[in-house]
Amino acid sequence: MFERAAQVNARFAAGTDKSDEIVTALEGLGLKSSQITVLSRSASAAVSAPAALGWLGRVKGMFGGGQAATVAPTAAPDLQIIVHMGQDGPLIEPVRKLFTRFGATGIEHLAATNSPNRAFGPAGAETDSAETK
């Protein structure tokens, strides 16, 4: 069986600098620091992506003609906080409310799931993976 514990993901607008406060509030609900993952990038880390060139611009570039492609900086990615709920299912709603209170732009709840894994036996016969062990 493939098992995944429930989790709650929240995204915050770029430039949000409240991750420490949010983590402290989550720990105040009874969550452990090992259950909280913060994904962020400093505002000084600019991400660059090549400017879009049309078909003709790409052909000219292949032969050394035309202007060099300019690089346009993109916006810094949003702050994302992932809470791995584990056995703390009753805390899902308080975590969602906490994220809303801190101004999350998106909140996503992924329920716990159990998926059976299948292994294929001799001659392509499908057998349950528990039976093959």
- The whole domain housing 68 covers 47-74
Give the pLDDT confidence of 16-42 residue by residue, as tens digits.
778 899 999 999 999 999 999 998 765
Rg (CA), the chain: 23
27 and 52 share one domain: no
* Global confidence as pTM: 0.60
81 and 116 share one domain: yes
Mean pLDDT, range 52-60, rounded to an integer:
70
Mean pLDDT, range 57-71, rounded to an integer:
64
Highest mean pLDDT among 11-25, 60-74, 76-90, 107-121: 11-25
25 and 13 share one domain: yes
CA dihedral 74, 11, 82, 16 (to 10 degrees): 80
